[in-house]
Each structure stands twice: as C-alpha cells, then as structure tokens.
Amino acid sequence: MQLRPRLKRFSQFLFSEKTAPFAFLAVLLFSFGIFIPAWGFYYDDWPTIYMFHSHGSILDYYQFDRPFAAWTEILFSTILGTNPIAWQIANLLMRWLAVTSLWWCFRLVWPRANRLVFGIALLFAVHPVFSLQPIAVTFTKLWFWYALYFLSLGFMVIAVQKPRKFYLFTALSLLTGAIHILSIEYFWGLELLRPALLWIVAAKNSVPMKRNLGKTFLRWSPYLALLSGMVIWRVFFAQFATDGFYFSSDPNAPGMLINLFKSPLETIPGLVQLVFHDTLYILAGLWRKSPLTL
C-alpha cells in the first residue's frame, strides 16, 4: 500500500516543470551520447568541414539554393571548428533543445495533461524515424531550426493566453518563426499546425464557433503571410533555370507542389498514396530498424 503513494510522488517529480528537461537529457545521453566517442564526420558533413579547414566561403556555398541558411553554418563552425566530438555534443544538445521546446509548447496548450505531453516529447526524442544522429555537422543546425519552430509556436500560444502581452509575444513568435522559415524549407508543412493550435487555445475560452473561426484566421494571418511570401519566392523567384528548363539545376525543387498546381487530378492520387505509405511506415514499419543505422 505504501508503494502507490511513492510512485505518485515520483511521477509528480518526473513530470514537473523543473525535472522533465533533465529527464529528456538523460534519455538522450543514454540513447545517443554513449556513442559520441566512436562517431566522426559523415556524408554531407565533409563539405562544411573542408570549407572551414581551407578557409573557403560557406556563404557562397549556400547561395546556390538556401542563401539564408549560411549564418547557422558559419556560427556553429566558428564555435566548434573541426572537432568531431564537439560537433556531436552540439548536435545532441540541439536535439535536446528541440525536444524540450516541443514539451514546453504542448504544456502551454494542455497544462493539465502533464503525463501525456511528457510521453509525446519522450517519443519525439527517440523515435526511430530519424536515424542519422551521427551526421552531426549536417543536423546540428536542423535541430536548432526545429527548436526555433516550437519556440515560435509557444510564443504564439502565450500571445493568445495573455492578451495584455499579445504584441510582445507575437513579435517574438514571428521573429523565431521567420528565422526557421527563411533558413530552410523542411519545416514549412508544419506551419499548417498553427491554426489548429490557435483554434484549440481559443476554444478553451468558450467563444462561439463563428467568432472563434474569425479570430483564429486573424491571429494566423501574419504567419500565413510570412509562409506564403517564402513559398512564392522559393517557387517563382529563386529560379535555377538552365537550357530553358524551370528548376532544372535545383536539387531541392518542390516538384510535387508544382505538379499539384499544374495537374492536380493526376498528382493528388500519388500524394494520397505517399501520405498513406509514409504514415504506415512511421507508425509501424520503422520500429524494426536500428535507430543508429547509417
């Protein structure tokens, strides 16, 4: 009978605001940190390491397709140099920052669901859908951008929850959101979660549905404008035309997005099939793989 109160106290301790981030860090250290001494540089890590070592221009390297992404590469390279251990530690810390940011954001939305939010963040921390943790130079900045995305969501939620500080936290949200949107296009699809979170937060105030819908769209509009501006720039102005073919030399061309506008009836079935296949793979198929397989 004494065991249950102890478990309850331990549960409250584990899921608390002060201890949960340390729990995530411990899990990440046990899952990935123990391998750090054996890891080096891999795949796309080498161009950055070579450029930094030979004093080449990282800025020029990124002008090809992501001109706004160079600043993070320059920042981390200046701090970490060519030390593989330093890069691996930084990569793990950025992953921890992303996990903790997700947990913080979801706690703001669902403050009474401590265990559920903790479980979601823990699953995000070690989910085997991402198996490229050793490629530290490449993914340090991606985890950093991921953290900025969740911080932006959190600031947005606080802006709604604290009307007196709406403009302050909206500005912080737009700033962190703009940094990750300008830096890379990988997380643009996740931006569509914003109106859903805004709706959920506003719905807790017992606002009529029609009014809630209008407020949600109004609050989402600056983020939508930011995202739309970047999509328009990426698709129509960041051209890499060669021999008259649009995007012919762009290795990251948004082919499916372009086809969706050009021939939606032919593209949608393939898109639905791809979503179904990937969802099935993420929920079930990939658990058979080793999370550290390169």
For the segment 218-230, what is each residue's pLDDT rounded down to a tens digit? 899 999 999 888 8
Measuring CA to CA, which residue among 196, 167, 191, 166 is closest to residue 180?
Answer: 191
Contact 195, 156 (CB under 8 A): no
The torsion of the CA quartet 173, 176, 181, 183, rounded to 10 degrees, works out to 170
Classify residue 23 by its DSSP letter.
H
For residue 80, the tally of other CB atoms under 10 A from its CB is 21
Tens-digit pLDDT profile for residues 269-287: 887 888 888 778 777 777 7
Answer for the pair 85, 37: CB distance below 8 angstroms, yes or no: yes
Specify the pLDDT at position 143.
95
pLDDT for position 233: 78
Return the bridge partners of 242, or none: 245
Residue 290's pLDDT is what? Answer: 52
Per-residue pLDDT of the chain (294 residues; tens, 9 = 90+): 455 555 555 555 556 777 899 999 999 999 999 999 999 999 888 888 887 777 666 666 666 667 777 788 888 888 898 899 999 999 999 999 999 999 999 999 998 888 899 999 999 999 888 888 999 998 999 999 999 999 999 999 999 999 999 999 999 999 999 999 988 888 888 898 999 999 888 877 666 666 778 888 889 999 999 988 888 877 776 655 344 434 445 555 666 666 766 777 777 888 788 888 877 877 777 776 655 544
pLDDT of residue 263: 77
Phi-psi region of 239 (alpha: psi -120 to 50; beta: other; left: phi over 0): beta
State the pLDDT at residue 145. 93
